[in-house]
Amino acid sequence: MTAVAMTRLIKNTEVVLVESDDIATVGVGEATIPTLEFFHEILNINEAEFLKATGGTFKLGINFENWRNTQHQYFHGFGVTGKDCWAADFQHFWLKGKQLGLKYEFGDFCLERVAALKGKFARVQNKGINYAYHLDATAYAQYLRMLCEKNQSFRRVEGKIAEVTLTTNSGEIESLALESGQNISGDLFIDCTGQRALLIGDALKTPYKDWSHWLINDSAIAVQTQSTEPPLPYTRSIAHASGWQWKIPLQHRVGNGLIYSSRFLDDQAAEQLLLNNIEGKPLTTPRKIGFKTGSRSQHWNKNCVAIGLSSGFLEPLESTSIHLIQQSIIRLLKLIPVNGLRQVDIDEFNQQTEVDIASIRDFIILHYVVTERDDSPYWQYHTQMSIPESLKHRIELFKQSGHVCLKNDELFEDSWMQVMIGQGLTPENYHPIVDNMSAKELSKFLGDMRELIEQRASSLPSHQDYIKQYCASRS
């Protein structure tokens, strides 16, 4: 992703991609959020072609099963829920309706959720439907490489980095020595070496902030299976007694995985749990991936920018890692050094990146701490766990007065509401501006909106049919 963006958008710069055929990409990371559409748009990537190449499907949100309790499910849809007014968000109107005895679920007012649960999808003009993608991660990497290779200013060097040489005076990265003996020098190095973090970590010794006391999962087991039904237009996230499972439907297979904490579940039991809860025949051998949740203390250090897993990791509960990658790429392109490095640019990059990651970190922790579950040592741990002050404030603000206040261009406004309500947090009060509507008017307002959403969702084609005519993959 970084190489495509650099080659397509920054002219007069030679981009060298060093990649080892012996070290595969992590090969997971197959669910995205809607911001990827914008990234592709600025890179002039053709959507249908990309979906064909990656066996991709559309994603309208995530169905969270067994998260509030073992009998409950809710949907985090990508769209806007209901209609708000200048003073109060829609949840205030919904809440009063609920107090009046109207039986609507909050998600009934989200077109994406209603369409997803009917298995419907179509692209609608003017962002009438918000969507993201499910994609085959390995195929996506190959597709992006092919795009890079079309560009004259791009050079791919196959080989394993054996050593990173620093300059003696400034301690910046001077060059990379490959096992083949080849040396690669450069002005700016972007560390995309994944969890190995060869440049930002091993060479520059940039500290890693460990957040595993808040996000205790440290392991994943992934397995791909045959599809047993037409692809759903959403990701499934199923909570278990000691972790949670993802199901990501592609055109040609399903990606499955279990995320868990080795403190509460051993690898063998985890693998069995996953295999007991998949539908299709396995296509791959289950694969264990370990990780440590946290973030680099600096994402840009000297002449090295960490992008991807080298810069940190938050578990994929809300499919945010690829989004963080693209955010870092766009941020780097905005602050790209001209005529040498400037510390102010570096500081700005680090500060913005940190705000982004901390907000997503809080959003993920929310799922574990606002829940009725305490049915296993894993869930009991979360009932007693301390949480970041920033999250504590958000939860109290929503609980006591029903507000979600975002800072600057923070992601996820609607998502916070959907997840807080879905996990079982109902505000104690609604905003008094809602009382400007009589009970009859409010009931009509909600009823009409609900009916319109139902009609719009029903009128869409099935997800499967849409894929067939728009982007059927050859595989």
Ligand X SMILES: Cc1cc2nc3c(=O)[nH]c(=O)nc-3n(C[C@H](O)[C@H](O)[C@H](O)COP(=O)(O)OP(=O)(O)OC[C@H]3O[C@@H](n4cnc5c(N)ncnc54)[C@H](O)[C@@H]3O)c2cc1C
The site for ligand X (CB under 6 A) is made up of 18-20, 23, 25-26, 28-32, 137, 160-161, 192-194, 196, 198, 220, 222, 257, 289, 291, 308-310, 316, 319, 321-322, 325
State the pairing for strand pair 173-178/183-185: antiparallel
**Which of 66/328 has CB closer to ligand X?**
328
**Which of 15/446 has CB closer to ligand X?**
15
30 contacts 173 by C-beta, under 8 angstroms:
no
Q: How far is the CB of 113 from ligand X (least distance, A)?
A: 19
Q: How far is the CB of 196 from ligand X (least distance, A)?
A: 5
Cα torsion for 316, 319, 322, 323, to the nearest 10°? -130
**Can you say whether the dihedral through the CA atoms of 196, 200, 203, 207 is positive or negative?**
negative
Q: How far is the CB of 317 from ligand X (least distance, A)?
A: 9
Q: How far is the CB of 342 from ligand X (least distance, A)?
A: 26
Backbone angle region of 22, left / alpha / beta, with phi > 0 → left and psi within -120 to 50 → alpha? alpha
From 227, 145, 118, select the one nearest 473 (Cα to Cα).
Answer: 227
Q: How far is the CB of 21 from ligand X (least distance, A)?
A: 7
**Which of 110/258 has CB closer to ligand X?**
258
* 181 Cβ neighbours under 8 A, 6+ residues apart: none
From 137, 230, 129, 253, select the one nearest 467 (Cα to Cα).
Answer: 230
C-alpha span between 406 and 396 (Å, rounded): 14
**Which of 91/301 has CB closer to ligand X?**
301
**Which of 55/308 has CB closer to ligand X?**
308
Upper half-sphere CA count for residue 226 (Cβ side, 13 Å): 4
Instruction: Name the one residue in this structure whose structure tokens are 């993959």.
Output: 473
**Which of 123/145 has CB closer to ligand X?**
145
- How far does Cα 102 stand from its chain's mean position? 34
Query: How many CB atoms are located within 10 Å of the residue 31 CB?
Result: 27
C-alpha span between 244 and 258 (Å, rounded): 6
Q: How far is the CB of 59 from ligand X (least distance, A)?
A: 10
**Which of 91/321 has CB closer to ligand X?**
321
Query: How many CB atoms are located within 10 Å of the residue 378 CB?
Result: 22
Radius of gyration of the chain (CA): 23
Q: How far is the CB of 193 from ligand X (least distance, A)?
A: 4
Q: What order of strands is seen across the sheet that includes strand 183-185?
A: 161-166, 173-178, 183-185
Query: How many CB atoms are located within 10 Å of the residue 162 CB?
Result: 13
State the pairing for strand pair 154-158/189-191: unpaired
Q: How far is the CB of 36 from ligand X (least distance, A)?
A: 9
- How far does Cα 355 stand from its chain's mean position? 16
Q: How far is the CB of 18 from ligand X (least distance, A)?
A: 5
**Which of 192/460 has CB closer to ligand X?**
192
**Which of 5/457 has CB closer to ligand X?**
5
**Which of 55/82 has CB closer to ligand X?**
55
Q: How far is the CB of 256 from ligand X (least distance, A)?
A: 11
